[in-house]
Structure 1
């Protein structure tokens, strides 16, 4: 019985009840005031006195205005509390996802370590176990870096300096790493620049953060595309900027969600049904990194099951430093 009535103690329920009470109080007050005014006016009409302007309606109007401000304030508190409750629920979901993502590589590392300790493993199999252990360690490190960078960029306390970056080399490195991890299940294609054009695509930025940005975009492309799918990337030259695209032929994104996917703690419910694991911070970290570099990031998709293309635009260095 107490559990069924527990919702009455919820802050949102209390705010709703407070609004109802204020409305009833205002109704009772106005009704009482009008009835009393009619009684007083009827009594005054029986007394032969000159008419006077009492300004009663002005006082009533002032009271209604003040009551209106109170009701608006309560409504704003209600909206704020509801938003906070929704964010808290999303944070709990993200925390659960992060915890799961941490447990998976740790369980794999422990399994490989115990196997090598308890069994006489051949050199070839030992090398394979160590390679898998290193891969899971890198996966774990990536997740930790994502959480730390998200907090660091949120508080604007990034300590890594910006330097001159060869964007072509950085992207080729990112594609090589993701191809090494998922090359057996996906087809990767990166449009490299000609050697005489290569020096024209330098940007000023944080190499560690930019590497994480493109790694997150490539990781998303892998997660939301089926085995055997193609993931493409390349550089589009602009007059004063350079645009990078990463395209997949996966599940796609509905048009009304193209901007929402960059919000912190936001996950598309339709994609959540695919049971895609992740921290839920990847694209929000990408957005923060782009803001750090004064660039642009956006996604284009023709709809569900029609793939997605992410575009990143950065200011290009026109002269060598």
Structure 2
């Protein structure tokens, strides 16, 4: 079945072909008419020469020279009139023209029919192939709806191959997008589960304290104790809520980490200042060591706000899990393509089996000292996420007494 567009194209082609063949036919008739007139003229000239008594040699010479002799032509016409051949000559001319018209017109008509038939067949075949291609494209799109994004095609020249190549690229993008959506669903599900688990303990403790305060007859000392526990659980909930908000914003892309060239010492100094008060309460010394000249004034590409937040999380843990009268040392070393920041404390240390786990969301370790301290287990997870978002990394190893956290920030 030929579509409307292909049918119009075939009609236009047929009309153009007919016009061209008519022009050829007209030119052929004109040429044949000229040839017959020349032939008649030569015959009259030959008759005129016979009338004058020319020899055979002179007649042949005149014919091959193709000289134009008006006088000989005139004598030849007069000779044909006297001999009674004028009407026969006209009839012969007309008969030959009719034969030429029939033969040439028939040949051109046959050529026209053959060309238009071939064009029709070609148009129909092209339309059929195009319909098949549309069906193939339609089947591929139907596959996309069912979640099958594989597009079988061969690398060839032509529009069809280019279209299939683009469909294949689209399929790959849709597959990546679907996987990302699925991962986001799993992440959200896991996050909701983790949040529920993290909120359950402090909410239960807070509820129990408030119920006891409301229902039981307690002494002032007991009331003070339960109020203190309630305040502690409230603070824990507040800290946990802030951490959960940061996690949610980080994982959904609401937190945008933007690197700018800024002095790294300013960022480290602000992180130290944010935990300085807590360190003073335990008389913990915080020392910054620059192992390379120029670091104090060096500006590197990083996000000052979030990098400060990441470093502060490590320092808060160092202060929390270190004893009184200890020291936290911050060392900075410049390398070829990165800046290395080491934070070493004199705290309880970390079991080597937990080196990779402590950067997971809500993981707090198994040491008894860790269980005694308040915490949500999201600080180091956020630290890792912040550093990786700007092309950096973090790791941990054992120190002389406590732990050494190693941060790498790219200089490129």
- What SS does the corresponding residue of 1:245 show, helix, strand or coil? strand
Q: Which of 284, 290, 307 is equivalent to 2:387?
A: 290
Do 1:97 and 1:280's aligned partners in 2 also have CA atoms closer than 8 Å? no
What's 1:310 paired with? 405
What's 2:363 paired with? 266
Q: Which of 187, 191, 198 is equivalent to 2:284?
A: 187
What's 1:220 paired with? 317
Quick one: distance in 2 between partners of 1:270 and 1:86?
A: 25
Offset, 1:227: 1.9
Quick one: distance in 2 between partners of 1:272 and 1:93?
A: 21
In the superposition, relative to structure 1, how do residues 182 and 86 fare at CA in structure 2: closer, same or farther (>3 Å)? same
Quick one: distance in 1 between partners of 2:367 and 2:189?
A: 22
Quick one: distance in 1 between partners of 2:342 and 2:384?
A: 15
Do 1:90 and 1:266's aligned partners in 2 also have CA atoms closer than 8 Å? no
Residue ranges of structure 2 left out of the alignment (5+ in a row): 1-187, 208-234
Quick one: distance in 2 between partners of 1:203 and 1:93?
A: 40
Quick one: distance in 1 between partners of 2:346 and 2:359?
A: 20
In the superposition, relative to structure 1, how do residues 257 and 87 fare at CA in structure 2: closer, same or farther (>3 Å)? farther
Offset, 1:90: 4.8
What's 2:353 paired with? 256
In the superposition, relative to structure 1, how do residues 212 and 278 fare at CA in structure 2: closer, same or farther (>3 Å)? same
Aligned length: 198
Do 2:261 and 2:300's aligned partners in 1 also have CA atoms closer than 8 Å? yes
Do 1:245 and 1:310's aligned partners in 2 also have CA atoms closer than 8 Å? yes
Residue ranges of structure 1 left out of the alignment (5+ in a row): 1-83, 104-137
Greater CA deviation, 214-223 or 169-178?
Answer: 169-178
In the superposition, relative to structure 1, how do residues 216 and 95 fare at CA in structure 2: closer, same or farther (>3 Å)? same
Offset, 1:225: 1.1
TM-score, with structure 1 as normaliser? 0.53
Q: Which of 289, 296, 300 is equivalent to 1:203?
A: 300
Matches within 5 A, 1:89-100: 90-96=194-200
Do 1:294 and 1:314's aligned partners in 2 also have CA atoms closer than 8 Å? yes
Q: Which of 342, 346, 361 is equivalent to 1:245?
A: 342
Quick one: distance in 1 between partners of 2:240 and 2:392?
A: 24
Quick one: distance in 2 between partners of 1:93 and 1:239?
A: 44
The one of the two structures with greater contact order (alpha-carbon pairs below 8 A, sep at least 6) is: 1
| RMSD, matched Cα | 3.7
Quick one: distance in 1 between partners of 2:190 and 2:255?
A: 29
